[in-house]
Structures are given as structure tokens and as C-alpha cells.
Structure 1
């Protein structure tokens, strides 16, 4: 059976901070003001123009602080799994590149995190529509209302399932050990780990909800929807206000392979 190796989801990986007290993420996490928005703007805009409008966090300081904490817990989850740590470093990096965003989104769901966005100042919807591919690289990467709405929809989907801590842990395992990740040298072994995680998830579901025959498929559907959340949306919305031009993958790699 796939071992339940996840450490407590309520505790940040203290060893990381003890060894690297001056990292960018640590500096923001150490701020005393840890509050974050309580209200979620769930208004749905059907207009294509509205969907494409650029947005940013209404309270980036507080929201990025919480998001950074979730990211650290996500990386600590990966590091805590012996079955992951025993993989070749190249495979670990491939899985990190492929899976950190879905795992992070699951972390947001588990932390019940909500956030507000507002229109990007000086952002012209007409400019985005008329220029299209003519937008600068920075403008093209800006989070849009459509992307944020998709993220919120995924979070609500997971919340409606009311997952237990064990269900979260094994679902993370099924998403982390993705044999379809590019560049894997041990894809068959990774596929076996994913199957073990799925079997363990089924057993937990049967134990906790023996009469809910459709729960497993509903959970996998939620996981599939999470895969549609783009890496650029998560990076630009939650981490660019903190890390600036620092390469996100380089930062994640440093955190993962920290000795």
C-alpha cells in the first residue's frame, strides 16, 4: 500500500527556514500581519471582453504571504516522501516542473484560502483584443479574469467534496507521481507509485464513505480540472509580487534539493 508519508499540513517545514532564514519567501512569511481577505468575488462574466481583462491581487501583501506558506508546505510534502526522494534527481525535477502547480492548488483548497482581485490599472481591454499576439511578453502573461475564475471554480469543486486529510494526502500522491511528465527515466516506476496512491485513496474513501460509490470518480474529476490551471497564472498572480524577476523554477529547484 502507498504509505501515508505526508507530514502535518498545519506545520511549515521548519528545517528549511532554520537553515535559510534570509530567503525571499521567509522574509514575507515572517511578517506579523498574516490576515487575508475573507470574501470571494464569485461574479461570473459571460462577455469575452470581461474574461480577457487583466487583474491582480487586491491585497497582494497578505495573500502572497499565505500563498508562500502553502508553497513551502507543498515542497515539504514532496521532500518528505521517501518514494519521491529515491527517484533520480532528473526525474524529481521533471515531476516538480510538471506537478508543483496542481499540488499548490490542492494546498490552497486544503487551507481554504480565498482571495480578491481587481482590474489592472491602465489595462485596456480593447488594446488586448486588437493587438492580441502584439502584446508585450509581460502583458501577455498578466493574469486574466478568465484564469482566476477557472482557479476559483477548481477550488470550489474540491471544497464541495469536503476531503479528509488522508484523502488530500493520497490525492496529492496520485498527482505528484505523474508518469506522463516529460523527461522521466523511470516512468514505469512512477506509474506504479501513482497506482499505489490511487489504490490507497480508494481504500480511504471506502472506509470513510462506504456508501458513496461515485466519490472516487468525483475526486479524480476535480484533480483533472485542477490540471487546467496554468503555471503562468499561479506564478504571476501569487509569486511575482514577491520574487520579482527571479525564475520560479530555479527557486523551486533550490528549495527541493536543499541539503
Structure 2
């Protein structure tokens, strides 16, 4: 500061603001150093050259469709972030078996805290997860700011009603076919997954950073993570559904767990139960929509993908999303200092479950039970070429 006589002196009224900002940044950096993950080598699952014309045409058609949509948000403002790699644990892990779902007890959702009954198999800690308060329990009249990255991702979320209507229309069209052309119940479920996958491609195409990539890089990223995005979409829907004894489909229909157990077969039933376990883990962490969109974005921009032409952009997107998620958890859950790390560990569970689901689907495909000539099957083959 400078006095009226141009001599140095005076009092810096902005000191407390600088100190608070510096303290927040130091806290963020300390958490990153404490919770950093070592990127492990994973098997190559995408070949250098892909000849997937269906996915390419899908992306190109979405390019054309996007011209009729409202303009996307402007480029991001850079976020202050200490560079640190994020990598999910090795793909070699398996999802451990647990007791049947009947032993789970979901408390009522509003204004509750919950502690997980199960140990975390992805860390060396043996104690139960800490409890987390819902955001509405905080006394602050105005919530802390939401990072710009997360705000943009929220704006780009698909309209659930439109997705539901389109999938229902597609299924009704299938049901209207002749008796010999009608799909089985499992075939209809695959058709539902295929249409959900198409909406995921549409979402990815509109995403910040992703839309700046060449089509080849977009295809590689989607071929790497499509099953994880499908699993995460299903799991988050169950988290919102909040019912122990039924599964909510993307069409809005509820399927009783007893029906799943009776008709799905042992392998598919086990996958559904393990998905419900993951729902329980996410519920114990009080995962909200802001964290969901950020985690989904992190799945899309996995650093495991090889041979990207613009790897720098993908890494930059990963780092900015990590920084935004860390900042959000610090501001909105100040008493849960471990939440950021726990959220990233849940991505490892999503990946492990998605790989098992892929193997099951591929086995069903080889036996002729999965409809062919669709995006789902193309993605399934992409990792095996």
C-alpha cells in the first residue's frame, strides 16, 4: 500500500483473503500428496489402429446432430492444481464375494449418516469407512462455490426424460415385430443397454475437452471405458432409487430382486448383487450429483488408453477434473478429509465389475443370445481386436 504522500506504508486490507486462499491451496496440495495414486501398468486393450466404422459413423452422426443443438459452454478457466497422476488399481483385481443382498440394511435416505458394514478391500485400512453428512445438514445459509469444471459437466448431463422416452420407443418397436423376430427378455435387456450406450456416446461427444479431440482419439477413449460408463450409470440410478429389494431400469420400470434371482441365472444375479454392494459403498460416501458427473468424466478420460494422438489434452482433462473433485469435496465435506481418496477407489470397483460384466456378455454373445449388428457388440469386439 502507498500513502497519499507517495511513501510506502499503510495496511494491506486484503491480507486475510490472501492467507485464506493460500491455506486452501496448501490443504489441497497436502491432500494430493497424501492421497496420490501410483499409475500401474495395465494390459493394452486397444490396438493402435481401429477399423470400427459403426462407432465412427455414430460419432460423425452426432457431429451432424450437434449443429442443431445449442452452443456448448466456452473453454474452461484453468484451475490451480499441483500435477499428480491418477490411475485406477490394476485390472487384475477381482470383486470379492460377500453375503447375499438380503443381509444389507439400507437406512432411510433423508438426513441420515451411515457407516459401511464392510471393510474396504482396496486399501490397507481395516477400519470401517467414516461417516459423511448430507450437504443439507450444514448450517451455512449459502453453499460453497462449485468448481467451474463441475458446473459445465452438470450443464452437459443428458435429459433423463428424453433418454427414457427414446429407449421405450425403441423397445416398443421391437415388441411390435413378428413372433419369430421378437427378442427374448435377455435380448431386450441388451437392446436397452445398446440404446443407453448410444446416449453415453452422445454425452461424451458434447463433453468439454472430448469434443476437441480427433474422431480417432474419441473412439479409443470410448472403446476403453464404455462398459465402465454403463455400469456406473446403472449403479448411480440405483443410488437415486434407494430401494433394497428392487432394481430400477433406465425405462423407469422396477424389477424385484426375487425376479432377478429366479430368472437371470447365477452369474448375472451375482453381478447384480455386486452392483448393489457398490451402491451401498457409494451411499455410505454420500455421493451427490456433482461428484457423480465428475467421476463419470474421470472414467471417460482414463490415462490407461494407449496411442492417443493428443495424450496431452487427455491428461490435462484428467488433472483438471481431479482438481475440481478435490476442491469440491474439501469445500462441501470439510469434516471428511478422506472422501476424495475414497471416491477414486470406487472407480476401481466400477472397473473390476465392468470387466466381469464384459466377460459375461461376451460369453452370451458367443452362444448367440445377444443381438448382433449394434453398437454394444461393436464395443464388445473392440477390446478383443
Superposition deviation, residue 159 in structure 1: 2.9
Superposition deviation, residue 100 in structure 1: 1.5
Cα deviation, 1:146-167, whole Å, max 9, x if unaligned, reads: 5444433333322332211111
Q: Is the 8 A contact 1:175 1:223 kept in 2?
A: yes
Instruction: Measure, in 2, the Cα distance between the counterparts of 1:146 and 1:107.
Output: 18
Cα deviation, 1:177-200, whole Å, max 9, x if unaligned, reads: 112113312222211110100000
Task: Provide the residue aligned with 1:47 in structure 2.
Answer: none
Instruction: Measure, in 1, the Cα distance between the counterparts of 2:370 and 2:169.
Output: 11
| Cα distance change of structure 1 residues 206 and 107 upon mapping to structure 2, 3 Å threshold | same
Instruction: Measure, in 2, the Cα distance between the counterparts of 1:246 and 1:31.
Output: 15
Cα deviation, 1:80-132, whole Å, max 9, x if unaligned, reads: 213101111111001101111222222112211626434679x8x9xxxxxxx
Mapping of residues 103-252 of structure 1, within 5 Å: 103-112=229-238, 114=247, 116=257, 117-118=260-261, 143-231=267-355, 233=357, 236=361, 244-249=371-376
Instruction: Measure, in 2, the Cα distance between the counterparts of 1:88 and 1:184.
Output: 10
Q: Is the 8 A contact 1:29 1:68 kept in 2?
A: no
Q: Is the 8 A contact 2:235 2:279 kept in 1?
A: yes
Mapping of residues 11-90 of structure 1, within 5 Å: 11=160, 26-28=169-171, 60=186, 67=193, 70-90=196-216
For structure 2, the residue ranges without an aligned partner over 5 or more in a row are 1-78, 80-147, 176-184, 242-246, 248-254, 381-385
| Cα distance change of structure 1 residues 106 and 172 upon mapping to structure 2, 3 Å threshold | same
| Cα distance change of structure 1 residues 75 and 242 upon mapping to structure 2, 3 Å threshold | farther
**Which structure is higher in helix share?**
1
Superposition deviation, residue 11 in structure 1: 2.4
| Cα distance change of structure 1 residues 30 and 8 upon mapping to structure 2, 3 Å threshold | farther
| Cα distance change of structure 1 residues 162 and 30 upon mapping to structure 2, 3 Å threshold | farther
Superposition deviation, residue 236 in structure 1: 2.7
Instruction: Measure, in 2, the Cα distance between the counterparts of 1:9 and 1:210.
Output: 30
Which entry has the higher C-alpha Rg, 1 or 2? Answer: 2
Instruction: Measure, in 1, the Cα distance between the counterparts of 2:268 and 2:237.
Output: 23
| Cα distance change of structure 1 residues 30 and 203 upon mapping to structure 2, 3 Å threshold | farther
For structure 1, the residue ranges without an aligned partner over 5 or more in a row are 33-58, 126-142, 254-259
Superposition deviation, residue 218 in structure 1: 0.6
Instruction: Measure, in 2, the Cα distance between the counterparts of 1:73 and 1:159.
Output: 25
Instruction: Measure, in 1, the Cα distance between the counterparts of 2:205 and 2:294.
Output: 15
Matching of residue 3 in structure 1 with residue 146 in structure 2: no
Superposition deviation, residue 29 in structure 1: 7.1
| Cα distance change of structure 1 residues 181 and 25 upon mapping to structure 2, 3 Å threshold | farther
What TM-score results when the alignment is normalised by the length of structure 1? 0.61
| Cα distance change of structure 1 residues 104 and 164 upon mapping to structure 2, 3 Å threshold | same
Superposition deviation, residue 232 in structure 1: 6.6
